Amino acid sequence: MAKFDLNDDGFVVIVGSGAGGGTLGNELAQKGIKVVVLEAGARNEIQDFVNDEWNSFTRLAWKDMRTTSGSWQVARDFPNLPAWIVKSVGGSTVHWAGASLRFEEHEFKIKTAYGDIAGANLLDWPITLAEMEPWYAKAEFKMGTTRTNGIPGLPGNNNFKVMEAGARKLGYKQVHTGRMSINSQPRDGRGSCQQIGFCFQGCKSGAKWSTLYTEIPKGEATGNLEVRPNSIAVRIEHDAAGKVNGVVYIDGEGKTQKQKARVVAVAGNSLESPRLLLNSHSSMFPDGLANSSGQVGRNYMRHMTGSVYAVFEKPVHMYRGTTMAGIIMDEARHDPKRGFAGGYEMETLSLGLPFMVAFLNPGAWGRSFTTAIDGYANMAGMWLVGEDLPQETNRVTLDPVVKDTNGMPVASVHYDDHANDAAMRNHAYRQGAAVYEAVGAIRTFPTPPYPSTHNLGTNRMSEKPRDGVVNKYGQTHDIKNLFVSDGSQFTTSAACNPTLTIVTLAIRQADHIAGAMQKGEI
Amino acid sequence: MREVDRRSKIDRRKFLTTAAAAPAAVVAVTTGLSVDGAWADNAQALKPETMKTLARVARDVYPHDHLADQYYIAAVIPWDAKAASDPQVKALIEQGVALLNELALARYKSPYAAVAWEEQRVALLREIEQTEFFGKVRGDLLVSLYNNHDVWPKFGYEGSSAEHGGYINRGFNDIDWLS
């Protein structure tokens, strides 16, 4: 494995090792470009994962302080945990569910497709589905996504069978075990899914794609990639000409280091990435880096979400097997007749008993709650995930008071549900309950949103520099050797899970960065 | 379908090891005494009556009729050690329980733990639902009660599966009642 010099200024320095950063790092390394990846978390490997929700959360989750405000229920239920993401090498690809869906064509241009919606800050992406298709294909091949490249779908577990039976009775047509980046047969040196469950706690069999044991070791094998765990980026620095030239970070021993850089790519997820840009303010850039538009941190999206759980007369054991291998896609279309713009997916979901009691109805107690939990073995569950609309006032800012252990202001996350989000959630709750009632559910539970797993949009892509932070390659409009490589680039959220699109953009970005470096543009 | 055996299993060896090393209160738990028993008498920081009231509160907050008292007792016992190491915690718990008893005496002429009906005790808890005492005790129970691995089978939850080869040969798709 490569060990690079702090003072060598020839590298691409990437902050974050997840879907965006880990993929970008390997793609660049394969092209012969030297890369240093700074990862805030430790290097937990497969053997360190545990099938135990709280124990795993303690080891893997990003638990550093954050603050919240706004009308979203997460601010009330989990005021210091707005997001459930991972702080460990591999980032949130360690705990992601594996769902890998492409955007619909209209989801790259919703300002055109939906028209103006009051209170929303809609914008078309500067790229189209047609431009993305060849890159999506590369991502699906890399990740081994089922139902692409001739890879069969995963087998359905009990939780899927219940959802599927209800969906068929309701007349839904697009129902299957999903496009999942989880091996349904051995591939790419990894085995097939053992139906362990605990996909969110790190895959013990390695069947699920994660940068931790795919992109990162492949990049390291080239000798061009070094991952530095326990390295918390605190500031990006620039030269007198306004080009970035290095990243200051705190290493595992608490020492301040600076890694010089030719190019910097930020991929710390949509709360940390804008925080890092804002915390990097200087006399030349008093509002933070790449922020001449004032859009850094704005347009925070977290998807319309919610869950429906249902108790049946007989056992389901929903926790057995792949957590999210099951989807109903019929409601993902844009059909304003339903009373909202955009659409949503219904995907199987289960929680173990410890997380079920924490999330089913936060704050609830007494027999209404405990009789629901008594039905745990007879429960089926689904997650509702749909497009939420960008709003300028939904944003990540630097908390004016609260600082982290390194003295840096923490991220403060403000989110108000748009009326469109609320209308979609209510529709989704009704349809989810109807699916289960069609196969005999005794009780259904409209479960409120969990801390956000899909954090998007806070450094959004735009055609014009005044509308967003980065261009169609994730290159910041203001600083040509500074890139954003995670979901914070998303102009709008689309209905589906974001990881496939993040990986796709990273592969495409690597091609752009390599070309620009070769031409001496950066 | 493969079902989960929900019966309690007493592991004699584990019990003997625990009994040799643990304080009296913990031993009492493993022997399955009830809320009213002598298990709380050796509490270090909190009054025995306070411990017993906490155990009653625990069942009233999260009542599961298929769980024996020992699980609720195990869930509240750690408050004694927390109170011993932090006077603020001690005050929070003692004052919270005192307030609950005050309300119970005023309305039912009986301390909280002796109020006869669950509905009556729950009505008292609703009155203090917004207090820090209730919030802390309830929040702690979510983990101390439900993250006890011994209670998982009683809800039909099987816990860790990777070491058993996952569910690929153990019923991930064995549902047999869908038509």
Write the residue in A165, A194, A369 that is nearest to B166 by C-beta: A194
**Residue B130 maps to a domain:** yes
Are the beta carbons of B167 and A52 separated by less than 8 Å?
no
Residue A178, classified by CB atoms within 10 Å of its CB into exposed (0-12), middle (13-18) or buried (19+), is buried
Q: How many CB atoms lie within 10 A of CB A187?
A: 15
Rounded CA separation B81/A271 (Å): 38
B67-97 as b/e: b if 16+ CB within 10 A: bebbbbbbbbbebbbbbeeeeebbebbbebb
Q: If DSSP codes are grouped into helix, strand and coil, which group holds residue A224?
A: coil
* Span B73-131, pLDDT tens digits: 999 999 999 999 999 999 999 999 999 999 999 999 999 999 999 999 999 999 999 99
Give the pLDDT of residue B24.
47
CA–CA min distance B153, chain A (Å): 10
**Residue B12 maps to a domain:** no
Write the residue in B4, B142, B165 that is nearest to A194 by C-beta: B165
DSSP string, A492-506: S--SS-SHHHHHHHH
Structural domain tally of chain B? 1
CA–CA min distance B82, chain A (Å): 20
Are the beta carbons of B159 and A51 separated by less than 8 Å?
yes
What is the arithmetic mean of pLDDT over A183-194?
98
Query: How would residue B9 be classed by pLDDT, with cut points 50, 70 and 90?
Result: low
**Interface test with chain B among A158, A159, A161, by most B beta carbons within 10 Å:** A158
Is residue A316's pLDDT more than 80?
yes
Contacts of A261 (CB under 8 A, 6+ apart): A9, A11, A12, A13, A36, A244, A245, A246, A247
Write the residue in B66, B159, B173 that is nearest to A321 by C-beta: B173
**Interface test with chain B among A50, A194, A204, A373, by most B beta carbons within 10 Å:** A194
* Span A226-272, pLDDT tens digits: 999 999 999 999 999 999 999 999 999 999 999 999 999 999 999 99
Residue A399, classified by CB atoms within 10 Å of its CB into exposed (0-12), middle (13-18) or buried (19+), is middle
**Residue B87 maps to a domain:** yes
* Span A84-133, pLDDT tens digits: 999 999 999 999 999 999 999 999 999 999 999 999 999 999 999 999 99
Q: What angle do CA A184, A185, A187 make, to 5 degrees?
A: 115
**Residue B11 maps to a domain:** no
Are the beta carbons of A374 and B161 separated by less than 8 Å?
no
CA–CA min distance A419, chain B (Å): 30
CA–CA min distance A442, chain B (Å): 14
* Span A330-378, pLDDT tens digits: 999 999 999 999 999 999 999 999 999 999 999 999 999 999 999 999 9
**Residue B10 maps to a domain:** no
Write the residue in B146, B172, B178 that is nearest to A357 by C-beta: B146
Are the beta carbons of B1 and A317 separated by less than 8 Å?
yes
Question: What is the average pLDDT value for chain A, to the nearest integer?
Answer: 98
**Interface test with chain A among B172, B176, B179, by most A beta carbons within 10 Å:** B172
User: Quick one: what percent of chain A has pLDDT higher than 90?
Assistant: 99
Are the beta carbons of A370 and B63 separated by less than 8 Å?
yes
Give the pLDDT of residue B179.
78
Element (H, E) at A446: strand A443-447
What pTM, to 2 d.p., does this model score? 0.96
Going from the C-alpha of A466 to that of each of A291, A392, A461, A476, A489, the distances in angstroms are 10, 13, 11, 12, 15
Asked if the C-beta of B130 comes within 8 angstroms of chain A's C-beta atoms, the answer is: no
Residue B50 structural domain? 29-156
Rounded CA separation B5/B9 (Å): 10
| CA A162 to mean position of chain CA atoms | 27
Are the beta carbons of B161 and A198 separated by less than 8 Å?
yes
E strands, A108-243, where? 175-176, 225-228, 232-238
Residues of A with a Cβ under 8 Å from any B Cβ are: 50-52, 54, 155-158, 161-162, 165, 193-198, 204-205, 314-317, 319-321, 352-354, 357-358, 365-367, 369-370, 373-374, 376-378, 439
Write the residue in B146, B161, B174 that is nearest to A197 by C-beta: B161
Query: H-type helices in A171-247, by residue range?
Result: 215-221
Cα of first residue to Cα of last residue in chain B, in angstroms, is: 15
Angle between helices B118-127 and B87-108 (to 10 degrees): 120
Residue with tokens 């939420």: A388
Query: How would residue B7 be classed by pLDDT, with cut points 50, 70 and 90?
Result: confident
CA–CA min distance B57, chain A (Å): 11
Give the pLDDT of residue B28.
47
Phi, psi of A20 (to 5 degrees): -80, -60
Give the pLDDT of residue B37.
73
- Which residue of chain B has the CA closest to A314? B177
Contacts of B177 (CB under 8 A, 6+ apart): A314, B1
Is residue A474's pLDDT more than 70?
yes
Chain B residues touching residue A311 (CB < 8 angstroms): none
Is residue A24's pLDDT more than 60?
yes
DSSP string, A236-277: EEE-TTS-EEEEEEE-TTS-EEEEE-SEEEE-SHHHHHHHHH
The tokens for B72 are 């609720």
**DSSP-assigned beta bridge partners for residue A249:** A233, A257
**Residue B143 maps to a domain:** yes
User: Is the CB of residue A298 less than 8 Å from the CB of residue A488?
Assistant: no
Asked if the C-beta of B157 comes within 8 angstroms of chain A's C-beta atoms, the answer is: yes
Rounded CA separation A162/B157 (Å): 18
Are the beta carbons of B143 and A165 separated by less than 8 Å?
no
Q: If DSSP codes are grouped into helix, strand and coil, which group holds residue A293?
A: coil
**Residue B126 maps to a domain:** yes
User: Is the CB of residue B154 less than 8 Å from the CB of residue A375?
Assistant: no
E strands, A336-422, where? 344-348, 379-386, 395-403, 409-414
Residue A35, classified by CB atoms within 10 Å of its CB into exposed (0-12), middle (13-18) or buried (19+), is buried
CA–CA min distance B83, chain A (Å): 24
**Residue B53 maps to a domain:** yes
Q: If DSSP codes are grouped into helix, strand and coil, which group holds residue A287?
A: coil
What is the arithmetic mean of pLDDT over B11-29?
49
What is the arithmetic mean of pLDDT over A20-39?
98
**ipTM of the complex as predicted:** 0.95
User: Is the CB of residue A371 less than 8 Å from the CB of residue A311?
Assistant: no
- Which residue of chain A has the CA closest to B156? A377
Query: How would residue B22 be classed by pLDDT, with cut points 50, 70 and 90?
Result: very low
Q: Which of A66, A14, A20 is nearest to A397 (CA)?
A: A66
Chain B residues touching residue A352 (CB < 8 angstroms): 157, 159
How is residue A484 annotated by DSSP? E
Q: If DSSP codes are grouped into helix, strand and coil, which group holds residue A89?
A: coil
